[in-house]
Amino acid sequence: MREFMFVLLLVTESTCRSPSKMCEPGCDCRGDLKFTICSRAHLTKLPIRAPPSTELLDLSNNLISAVPKHVFSSNRKLRVLLLQNNNISTVEDGGFSQLEFLQKLDLSWNQISALTEGFSIGLAFLRELQLSHNLLTSLDSRSFLHLDGLQRLNLTNNSIQTIQVRSFAYMSSLRQLHLQDNQLTSLRSGTFSMLRSLEVLNLAGNQINEMDLAVFNPLTSVTLLNLADNQFSTVFFKTFLNIHTYSTHILLQGNPWNCDCELQRVFRKLHSIQRLFLDDYYNLTCWDPPVLHNHRLMEVDSELCIAETVTVLIITITVVITVLAAMLMGERKKKKRRNGLHWTQQREFSDDSDF
Ligand SMILES: *[C@@H]1O[C@H](CO)[C@@H](O)[C@H](O)[C@H]1NC(C)=O
Ligand SMILES: *[C@@H]1O[C@H](CO)[C@@H](O)[C@H](O)[C@H]1NC(C)=O
Ligand SMILES: *[C@@H]1O[C@H](CO)[C@@H](O)[C@H](O)[C@H]1NC(C)=O
Ligand SMILES: *[C@@H]1O[C@H](CO)[C@@H](O)[C@H](O)[C@H]1NC(C)=O
């Protein structure tokens, strides 16, 4: 009986202690206190109390609006920090600075409009950063300064218009870069410099209509390059020729192609490069010229150079005819002159004989 009471006391004590002292009300601390789940807990502010042993902290679906400096300093064992679906607009410099074991940080579906240099301090071991559905408009060399170990960066559905050169310069481990559904209009050389481990580059759903010829040069590991749903009317062969990999799949559908002979030539040359795979070539449709609008490029590509061939043929024939005509005329004149000479000589002769 005394033993039973003792156990009961212990159990009551531990269940009382963990929620009140170490676990924020509204949160659920479990798994040897390695998981602290505070999703949908109506939290508006940090810090919150979580056991120091917490490795996964789920703060998603709350109304937190700021990440103050050093706010996670009593949770240094965190490996996964989930903050998606909050109202975060401010991350103070050093907000995540003491999380040296953090591997995944999810900040998607927030209101973040700028990344300061201090944002990434102390996140050298972060592998995955989710920043989709925020309000970012530009990236520069300070945005990801301390993220040397990052492997996956998701920037989907922001409003990014400009990426300055060297924005990703410190991320030589990056394998996936998701930039789809932003507002990029051009790609400049140097934008992707140093991304030599990058395997997936997703640029779909932007408004890109021009690229520097060398923009993809640094991507020596890229296996998937998604350029679908942009504003390309044409592309240059060299842009893709410059990708030096063993095998790269390129997606290009959903662009307003100007189907002319030049475009047909570019694709014919691209098809001839063994290491490049144009997976959705079958789906490319023409925007221009109006007569080919909505036609599949594949169905008309054999005809695109016909007009040009005909023109060339006509010019060639004309030239040949002119030359032939000139030669003929020349022959005729010569003959005439010879005949004339003969005639004159005859005349002269007969004239002589007349006398
Ligand atoms: C989100 O944060 C802003 C300030 O950054 C505040 O004005 C707004 O009321 C917050 N929204 C909610 C739903 O809490
Ligand atoms: C990137 O974010 C989008 C939107 O939140 C999501 O649908 C997608 O799965 C994410 N991709 C990766 C590879 O994390
Ligand atoms: C994501 O971005 C695309 C393109 O800008 C837009 O059409 C779509 O509505 C966005 N999605 C969300 C959930 O905001
Ligand atoms: C081509 O388009 C069809 C219909 O939109 C789609 O189902 C298919 O997956 C596309 N093919 C490729 C390779 O993207």
Q: pLDDT, tens digit, for every residue of 240-279?
A: 999 999 999 999 999 999 999 999 999 999 999 999 999 9
| Residue 280 CA, ligand 4 centroid: distance in Å | 7
Task: Give, in degrees to the nearest 5, the angle at Cα 10 between 9 and 14.
Answer: 115
Question: Is the pLDDT confidence value at 320 over 80?
Answer: no
| Residue 135 CA, ligand 1 centroid: distance in Å | 14
| Residue 348 CA, ligand 2 centroid: distance in Å | 103
Q: Is the CB of 89 under 6 A from ligand 1?
A: yes
Q: Which ligand is nearest to the CA of 151?
A: 2
Closest C-alpha to 67, from 104, 105, 36: 105
Q: Which ligand is nearest to the CA of 280?
A: 4
Task: Give, in degrees to the nearest 5, the angle at Cα 309 between 304 and 314.
Answer: 140
Q: How confident is the model at residue 340 (pLDDT cuts 50, 70, 90)?
A: low
Better pLDDT: 301 or 20:
301
Q: Is the CB of 108 under 6 A from ligand 2?
A: yes
Q: Is the CB of 87 under 6 A from ligand 1?
A: yes
Question: Is the pLDDT confidence value at 308 over 90?
Answer: no
Please state which of the ranges 92-96, 198-202, 224-228, 298-302 shows the lowest mean pLDDT: 298-302
Residue to mutate, 157, 158, 202, 207, ligand 3, most ligand atoms under 8 Å from C-beta: 157
Task: Give, in degrees to the nearest 5, the angle at Cα 246 between 245 and 250.
Answer: 70
Q: What is the rounded CA–CA span in Å between residue 231 and residue 221?
A: 26
Dihedral over alpha carbons 84, 85, 89, 95 (to 10 degrees)? -30
List residues bridging with 80 in a β-sheet: 56, 104
Ligand 4 atom closest to Cα of 279?
A: 13
Better pLDDT: 220 or 336:
220
Give the three-class secondary structure for 235: coil
Distant-in-sequence, close-in-space partners of 277: CB < 8 Å, separation ≥ 6:
247, 248, 249, 250
CB 85 within 8 A of CB 38: no
**Residue 304: predicted pLDDT:** 76
Q: Whose CA is nearest to atom 13 of ligand 4?
A: 280
| Residue 106 CA, ligand 1 centroid: distance in Å | 19
Q: Is the CB of 180 under 6 A from ligand 3?
A: no
pLDDT, the chain, mean: 87
Threshold 0.95, pTM exceeds = no
Question: Is the pLDDT confidence value at 341 over 50?
Answer: yes
Question: Is the pLDDT confidence value at 352 over 60?
Answer: no
Q: Is the CB of 113 under 6 A from ligand 1?
A: no
**Residue 12: predicted pLDDT:** 36
Q: What is the CA radius of gyration of the chain?
A: 36
Q: Is the CB of 63 under 6 A from ligand 1?
A: yes
Residue matched to tokens 């021009």: 210
| Domains delineated in the chain | 16-109 (3.80.10.10), 136-318 (3.80.10.10)
